[in-house]
Chain A
Amino acid sequence: MNNDKFHQVILPLKDKLYRLALSIVRDETEAEDIVQDVLLKLWSKRNEWNDIENMEAYCYRSIKNLSFDRLTYNSLRKTDNIEPDKEHLAFVDNITPHLEFVQQEQRSIIYKCIDELSDNQKLVFQLREVEGMSYRNIAETLEISEELVKISLFRARKKLKELLEKYNNDGI
Chain B
Amino acid sequence: MEFENIHTLINKYWNCETSTQEEQILQDFFSQEEIPDELKEYAPLFRYKKDSQSKTLSSDFDKRLSTAIREQEKENKYITVKIFAPALRIAASVALITGLGIGIYLVANQNKKNYFAETYNDPNAALKHATFALDKLSDALKKGEEASMESLRELEELNLDWAALDSLNMEQMETNHSEIPVETENL
A103: chain B residues within 8 A (beta carbon): 47
Complex interface bits, B11-53 against A, C-beta within 8 A gives 1, otherwise 0: 0011110001001100000000000000011111101110111
A78 contacts the other chain (CB 8 A): no
Interface residues of chain B: helix, strand, loop or mixed (majority): helix
A22 within 8 A of B: yes
Q: Is the CB of B15 within 8 A of A164?
A: no
For the residues of A in contact with B, the DSSP-based class is helix
**Cross-chain contact B57 with A39 (CB below 8 angstroms):** no
Report the minimal beta-carbon distance from A55 to chain B, rounded to whole angstroms.
17
CB < 8 Å: which of A36, A110, A150 contacts B64? A36
The answer to whether B41 and A43 have CB atoms under 8 Å apart is no
Q: A32-B57, A130-B52, A157-B13 are in contact. List 15 more A-B contacts (CB 8 A).
A: A19-B52, A19-B53, A28-B55, A36-B64, A39-B65, A43-B69, A107-B48, A129-B23, A129-B52, A132-B24, A134-B20, A154-B16, A157-B16, A164-B42, A167-B41
**A129, B49: Cβ atoms under 8 Å?**
yes
Central interface residue in B24, B44, B49, by most chain A CB within 10 Å: B44
Q: Are B57 and A35 in contact (CB under 8 A)?
A: yes
In the bound complex, residues from chain A placing their C-beta under 8 Å from that of B76 are 44
Q: How far is the CA of A32 from the CA of B57 in the complex (A)?
A: 7
Residue of B nearest to A22 (CB): B55
Footprint of A on B, CB under 8 Å?
A: 13-16, 20, 23-24, 40-45, 47-49, 51-53, 55-58, 61-62, 64-65, 68-69, 72, 76
Option from A36, A130, A158 in Cβ contact (under 8 Å) with B49: A130
Asked whether, in the complex, the Cβ of A106 is within 8 Å of the Cβ of B57, the reply is no
| Between-chain CB contacts (< 8 Å), 10 pairs | A11-B62, A14-B57, A15-B57, A18-B56, A19-B53, A22-B55, A35-B57, A40-B68, A130-B53, A157-B16
Residues on B with C-beta less than 8 A from A88 are none
Contacts of B57 in A (CB 8 A): 14-15, 18, 32, 35
Alpha-carbon separation in the docked complex, A102 to B42 (Å): 14
> How many residues from A make CB contacts under 8 Å with B?
40
Task: Establish whether residues B61 and A110, one from each chain, have CB atoms under 8 Å apart when the complex forms.
Answer: no
Q: 1/0 per residue A59-103: CB within 8 Å of B?
A: 000000000000000000000000000000000000000000001
Q: Which A residues lie within 8 Å of B15 (CB)?
A: 154
Give the distance in Å from the alpha carbon of A160 to the alpha carbon of B42 in the complex. Answer: 9
Which chain B residue shows the least CB distance to A6?
A: B69
List residues of chain B with CB within 8 A of the CB of A133: 20
Q: Which residues of B contact A23 (CB under 8 A)?
A: 52
Q: Tell me which residues across on chain A come within 8 A of B16, comparing CB atoms.
A: 150, 153-154, 157
* B44 and A110 form a contact (CB under 8 A): yes
Residues in A whose Cβ lies below 8 Å from that of B23: 129, 132
- Contact in complex: A106, B52 (CB < 8 Å): no
Cβ–Cβ < 8 Å partners of B65 in chain A: 36, 39-40
B69 x A40 contact (CB < 8 A): yes
Interface check A145, CB cutoff 8 A: no
Interface contact A107-B64, CB-CB below 8 Å:
no
CB distance from A28 to the nearest CB of B (A): 8
